[in-house]
Structure 1
Amino acid sequence: MVVMKQARHPEPDEMTLIEVMAALSDPIRVGLARVLADGRERGWGELRAPVAKSTLSHHLRVLRDAGVTRTRQEGTRCFVKLRRSDLDARFPGLLNAVLTAAHSDDVGDRVGLTDKPSAG
């Protein structure tokens, strides 16, 4: 039997402003937040970014460790979702401000979704 390590997600009261802002200080990570802002859970394979897969994995881990996203593993597939309600409860208005400014300034606009869903 193979035991898979489950990712640790900080509780909302463990999230810090510094860690969340640091996680959102990179254009790729802001782009990922923009893609996930629709509230849908996405398989990692659906995400498209102008970086190597290992670098994309790093960016997703930074977002998860800061509490910006939640990662769920199902077999060999990984899925990610924006933790909007937790972020809004902990830091009211922050995520909307970041996403609005990112949209206005085209920050993260090179991140998107693949044309068709794939295994996460």
Structure 2
Amino acid sequence: MTAATGTRELAHPRREEIRLEGVLHALADPLRLRVVSALAAAEGELTCSHVSLPVTKSTSTHHYRVLRENGVIQQTYRGTAKMNGLRRRDLDSLFPGLLDSVLAAVTAQASRPDLS
């Protein structure tokens, strides 16, 4: 919390601290990919509860933390709501085409027939 405003602030890596291996780790989980896909489609901020994940609240919090700590999303508090936004500009600047390729692959994979 900052004393002057009473707001809670979360730690985020600066753009130059974002590492490819961290981003790839964050994107390697299907639930985190679901969050990133939803944020990309929204083209704005969403609350954590906007994206339905089939896990407990603590596990959901963990997934959002992994995304934030690896520079994939930006989280800010607005009142009691934690808002999430995709750090598209930072990711596109550091790793051109990576996010678009991952999102296209997610869409392509979702449209494949079930082979099991």
TM-score range, shorter chain: 0.7 to 0.9
Of stretches 51-60 and 61-70 in structure 1, the one that deviates more from structure 2 is 51-60
Aligned to 1:64: 68
Q: Return the letter of the residue paired with 1:6.
A: E
Structure with greater contact order relative to length (CA < 8 Å, sep ≥ 6): 1
1:26 equivalent in alignment to 2:29: yes
| Residues 57-114 of structure 1, C-alpha deviations (whole Å, 9 max, x = no match) | 100000000000000112221010111111000100000111111111129xxxxxxx
Distance 2:47 2:89 in 1: 20
Measured after TM superposition, the shift of residue 5 of structure 1 is: 4.0
Number of equivalences: 107
Measured after TM superposition, the shift of residue 4 of structure 1 is: 5.1
Distance 2:18 2:110 in 1: 27
Q: Return the letter of the residue paired with 1:91.
A: F
Measured after TM superposition, the shift of residue 54 of structure 1 is: 1.0
Distance 1:52 1:4 in 2: 26
Q: Is the 8 A contact 2:8 2:77 kept in 1?
A: no
Distance 1:58 1:65 in 2: 10
* 2:18 counterpart (12, 15, 18): 15
Q: Gaps (5+ residues) in structure 2?
A: 112-116
Aligned to 1:116: none
Q: Gaps (5+ residues) in structure 1?
A: 108-120
Distance 1:63 1:97 in 2: 18
* 1:88 counterpart (86, 92, 101): 92
Larger radius of gyration: 2
* TM-score, reference length from structure 2: 0.85
**Cα RMSD, aligned residues only:** 1.8
